[in-house]
Amino acid sequence: MNTRAESSHKKHFLYLDLIMVAFVVLLLCSNLIGASKVCSLFGINFGGTLIFFPITYLFGDILTEVYGYQRSRKVVWAGFIALGFASAFSWLIILLPPAPTWDRQRELTLIFGQTPRLVIASLFAYFVGEFANSFVMAKLKIFTDGKWLWTRIVGSTVIGEAIDSVLFYPVAFYGLWPDRLLIQVLTASYLFKVTWEIAMTPLTYRVVHFLKKVENEDYFDYKTNFSPFSLKS
């Protein structure tokens, strides 16, 4: 199995592209469908985005652990571009005048009419949170010499999800939701995300083990440029 940082950039991987596509689809679903809805189960309020969004952090952990921060960075950028394009496309379609015979403009606007504030909050929180998650994951892998995968999964999630939640909810909803509801949803969402990914740790172990074996890759970011704005391998 390849564990050298400098010898695997030009390899062809079987599953990397598929993982990237799945990551982008999950990201779009979580942000375009569930971000603005407050759900309630057993008396606990939480954002609807929790149905999908935590899985993106699981994907981020797997990508960084197996393929390294540099490849994970490209996937994060792919998600960022896709999310920005989808938001712009939704805005444009809603802005176009509806035909006189079409009477579903109100419903379409209600479902897909994200405000610029919500779009900015989503993009900003996603960008910072995902890169923080990958950075912590890569650094902890070096620090632990590739041992104790659970420490990287939990540690990166605790930090990445905290940054994402603290950025997204206040930027998107402060002044629109009562302060008490905002804090309640932010706290419940964060705790759910962290608990969810901890519960998924056994599955993450299996997926990571499988990918390392079939891809013959176990990347360590010893000499990586961790700038999120560099796409060089």
Assess whether pLDDT exceeds 70 at residue 97: yes
Average pLDDT, the chain: 86
Stretch 46-66: mean pLDDT: 83
Q: CA-to-CA distance for 214 and 33, rounded, in angstroms?
A: 34
Measured at the CA of 88, the angle between CA 115 and CA 76, to 5 degrees, comes to 100
**127: Cα separation from own chain's centroid:** 8
Of 45-54, 86-95, 179-188, which range is least confident?
45-54
- Beta strand extents in the chain (DSSP E only): 38-41, 44-47
Which tens digit of pLDDT belongs to each residue from 133-181?
999 999 999 999 999 999 999 999 999 999 999 998 899 888 888 999 8
Please tell me the predicted confidence (pLDDT) of residue 6.
46
Q: What is the DSSP string of 29-51?
A: HHHHTSTTPEEEETTEEEEGGGG
> Which percentage of the chain shows pLDDT scores above 70?
89
What is the value of pTM for the model shown? 0.85
- Report how far apart, in Å, the C-alpha atoms of 47 and of each of 11, 130, 183, 202 are: 40, 18, 12, 26
Domains of the chain from N-terminus onward: 16-215 (1.10.1760)
Q: CA-to-CA distance for 58 and 63, rounded, in angstroms?
A: 9
Assess whether pLDDT exceeds 80 at residue 7: no
Q: CA-to-CA distance for 156 and 72, rounded, in angstroms?
A: 14
Please tell me the predicted confidence (pLDDT) of residue 2.
60
Residues in the chain: 233
